[in-house]
Amino acid sequence: NAGVTQTPKFRVLKTGQSMTLLCAQDMNHEYMYWYRQDPGMGLRLIHYSVGEGTTAKGEVPDGYNVSRLKKQNFLLGLESAAPSQTSVYFCASRRLAGGQETQYFGPGTRLLVL
Amino acid sequence: GENVEQHPSTLSVQEGDSAVIKCTYSDSASNYFPWYKQELGKGPQLIIDIRSNVGEKKDQRIAVTLNKTAKHFSLHITETQPEDSAVYFCATADSWGKLQFGAGTQVVVTP
For residues B54 and B73, which has the higher predicted lDDT (pLDDT)? B73
Residue B99's nearest CA partner among A65, A4, A37, A53 is A37
Residue A55's nearest CA partner among A87, A85, A77, A36 is A77
Question: Which of A42, A44, A107 has its CB closest to that of B43?
Answer: A107
> B76-91: per-residue pLDDT in tens?
999 999 999 999 999 9
pLDDT at B103 over 50: yes
Q: What is the pLDDT of residue B37?
A: 97
Question: Which of B43, B97, B101 has its CB closest to that of A108?
Answer: B43
What are the residue ranges in chain A where pLDDT is below 50? none
A107 touching chain B per CB within 8 A: yes
Cβ–Cβ below 8 Å for B34 and A58: no
Cβ–Cβ below 8 Å for B91 and A42: yes
Q: What is the pLDDT of residue A56?
A: 97
**Rounded to 5 degrees, what angle do the CA atoms A15, A18, A23 make?**
125
Question: Which of A4, A50, A105 has its CB closest to that of B96?
Answer: A50
A31 touching chain B per CB within 8 A: yes
Q: What is the pLDDT of residue A1?
A: 64
Q: What is the pLDDT of residue B53?
A: 80
Q: What is the pLDDT of residue B28?
A: 86
Task: Count the neighbouring beta carbons within 10 Å of the beta carbon of residue A80.
Answer: 11
> B10-55: per-residue pLDDT in tens?
999 999 999 999 999 998 889 899 999 999 989 999 999 998 888 9
Residue A55: CA count within 13 A, CB half-sphere:
18
CB contacts of A106 in chain B (<8 Å) are 43
Cβ–Cβ below 8 Å for A48 and B97: yes
Interface of B with A (CB under 8 A): 1, 4, 6, 32, 34, 36, 41-46, 49, 89, 91, 96-104
